[in-house]
Amino acid sequence: MCLWRRLFFSSKPAGSGRKPAAFRKSKPDFSGGPIRMNQSEKPEEMKMRKRERLTAILFFVMLLPLAAQERIDIESVRRAIKRQNASWQAGESWVTRLDSAGQRALLGTRPGPRSPQEALERKIELPPAAAELPASFDWRNHDGDWLTSVKNQGNCGSCWIFSATAQIESWWKIYNDSPLTEIDLSEQHVLSCVATGNCEQGGYIEDALDYAVYYGIPDETCFPYAGRDDKLCSESCADWQSRAESIAGWGYITLQEPTVENIKNALMYHPVSASYIVYEDFYWYSGGVYEYAWGQRLTGHAVLIVGWNDADSSWTCKNSWGPYWGENGYFRIKWGNCGIGKYMPFIYDEVLNVNPLRVTPSSLAFSGNAGDTLALTLNLENTGSGGVEYTLFNDEVPVYWHASNRHSYDGMSWWCGDSAIGGYQNHVLQYLDTPVIDLSSTTSPRLSFQVYYVVEEPGGEPPGWDGWDGCNVWVSTDGGSNFSVVRPTAPEYNAESLWSFGEATEGWNMGNWIPGWVGWLDGWTEADFDLSSFKSSQAVIRFAFASDMGYCTLDDPELIGFLVDDIHVYDGGTTLFENSADETGGMRVKGYGSKPAGWLRAPVSVGRIGPLGDVDLSVIANTHGMAAGHYEGRIRIKVNTLASSIITVPVTMDLVETTHVKEDPSELLLRFTLAQNHPNPFNAGTRVFFEISSPSSITLAVYNTSGRRVAVLYQGPCEAGRHEVRWDGRDVSGRAVSSGLYFLRMQTPSQILTRKMILLR
């Protein structure tokens, strides 16, 4: 499946790439009673009945070892607990009566962050919530009960969703000071609409939280939980968007080290999602403070931490296995046991009514040589009286149409596909337009071209639709302002209503009854169109492709997309326009959608700005391996506000080929560079090396992950050549800073370079 880049939807039935998961296994029925002999039975019938009886007896005899094995398992667990002198109890529950497959289906969180790099960049530091943390704390009994009821995820690995919704529900109750309000969000909506996870393979808590940031999650009655991942996203209630609860953003309060004080401080704001590794003995938990004692390592599980107790060094957690497991659906676990407490995602708890953030400049324009690392600065200013919490996301607008010899008809062909994956991503709309063609004085204008396509097969569409992803041809008579679909004489369109073009939420919202080609074409074929209805001096022909949010080349590598070649517009024997992709010939390409911009990033992407404060953020464009050309992306800034919470900063980048010139060997060492500090990670101190090719004014400073400057290593005029400075891990006041990620930034009047440093105390 496609990641952050696609923002992650699926609306396909079970036959389109994901297998359904049964919600509940049925139990065998042994209630038939004793076997009785019929006196009228014939001898051979009596023999058959005897064999049946013997078979039944043998069947029950075979069951006895299984029952004994269950006893052995629980006794093994209890003995292991006793040997370890642990303080928890093992007992039977509906979970222990499941077979191993059923038990494993209760898990499903993918351990660790989506990427260590993302975790570093999304680390947040929360202000102290209290002058002194209490020895114990529990949101179930803190001037009220701020938790929602314990849910049951059923036979589906959706714990990552239940953990996320549980955090959102409690956050909502605390923010609204409403402990008696029973908010209940739809886990099924997330399961059906976020395609980066499913019942069988599980998913990331972070993906569910990202969905809540961008789209919100509706209430349970909008889409009741079925515990199946083959339910379509479109089965949500029609007004789900107006009923959805959203969050401002989130960041990690811990990284690889499950720092207890960080978690406690965060819990004083609201309960927090957590994940950990499950071992076999955990299924048998019935009370006490759990710590691993027996059994094999399985996989990840996600829960909600709601409190702690210093006396037994434990977290109190809300599970999603129903109220008839553990301590009424809850359990306690030792700090750090089984990895709990690592990479904990925390929802911002302050939401402002207005957006006080001012971003300068309003757009960014990079330019340079292909292969360079470029940098620009964004200034984020908080003009209000409340704290602003921000999250930066970066993406780019994908443009697929390009001339390529891959899958080509002859030489070069126009291919609507991403070369990196060999096809197309989810939710893209791509256009290839001809220049303006004068058809005003024609008699019988026609269009012909060679066509080849392999896109998603039709099947299982909701009523009113008969194709998913598809391609077609449009014509404009006003120079490209307005277009309408034109039908071919051959090969005919094989779909009359394409979901990808027309559906409002998962397609491109053009309405029903947009026809096109779907499935695959058996090799290159000549297409023919009658253009007699489009006799205009301002005609433009458009080749279009659209995909929806649920199935793409990443799911099926055979989906290569849409290709055209030998485009020919003519009237009788007169050629009006032709193009064979060997040259652009005035053809124009345009794309809509988004995908991760691998070349664009902000080293500090999550932070908090105090009232009337501001922060400078570096935005880096790494063009290594990129070709010369024009690129478009954007920085989206999500702010903790209820109004206009996303600020979009358009980004353009123009690259030219690197010009190679002969240089004096003595000058080759004089470069404007900032080397990686050494050692890194470091403890007592680290050395920083940089060089400049000519005298310049520079500032070399250290910033924390909130974007605040903590130390200035050098500031002022600097001679050309190599230089070295040292940082002892202290701030401008001479105080030792805490362990963590820091950013070393070197700035001149024309450029900024950044390196990451890790301090370990």
| Active-site annotation, residues | 159, 301, 319
Core vs surface per residue 134-150: b (16+ CB within 10 A) or e: eeebbbeeeeeebbbeb
The Cα–Cα gap between 321 and 559 comes to 39
Indicate the DSSP class of residue 229.
T
Which two three-digit tokens encode residue 395?
């993406």
The Cα–Cα gap between 382 and 611 comes to 6
Whether the Cβ atoms of residue 113 and residue 206 lie closer than 8 Å to each other: yes
Q: Which helix (H) or strand (E) segment is 345 a member of?
A: strand 345-347
Residue 127 preceded by cis peptide, ω within 30: no
Residue 3's CB is within 10 A of a number of other CB atoms, namely 15
Indicate the DSSP class of residue 84.
H
Which two three-digit tokens encode residue 511?
């309405």
Which two three-digit tokens encode residue 362?
């309003």
> Cα dist. 63→95, 103, 167 in Å?
19, 20, 43
Total length of the chain:
761
Which two three-digit tokens encode residue 186?
């739809």
> Cα dist. 305→174, 302, 319, 332, 604 in Å?
15, 10, 9, 9, 27
For tokens 């004692």, the residue is 293
Q: Is 573 exposed, middle or buried (0-12, 13-18, 19+ CB in 10 A)?
A: exposed
The Cα–Cα gap between 702 and 740 comes to 12
Shortest CA distance to 426 belongs to which of 434, 418, 438?
418
Whether the Cβ atoms of residue 382 and residue 610 lie closer than 8 Å to each other: yes
> Cα dist. 504→366, 485, 549, 592 in Å?
34, 19, 11, 15
The Cα–Cα gap between 151 and 399 comes to 44
Determine what percent of the chain falls in helix, strand and coil, rounding each to the nearest 5: 15, 35, 50
The Cα–Cα gap between 307 and 327 comes to 14
Q: How many CA atoms lie within 13 A of 379 on its CB side?
A: 8
Which two three-digit tokens encode residue 572?
């009788």
User: What Rg value do the Cα atoms of the chain yield, rounded?
Assistant: 31
Q: Is 78 exposed, middle or buried (0-12, 13-18, 19+ CB in 10 A)?
A: middle
Residue 679 preceded by cis peptide, ω within 30: yes
The Cα–Cα gap between 584 and 575 comes to 17
Which two three-digit tokens encode residue 63?
């069951």
Q: Which residues have a Cβ under 8 Å from the Cβ of 399 and sit 6 or more positions away? A: 430, 589, 590, 591
The Cα–Cα gap between 93 and 282 comes to 12
Which two three-digit tokens encode residue 32?
């038939």
Whether the Cβ atoms of residue 561 and residue 554 lie closer than 8 Å to each other: no
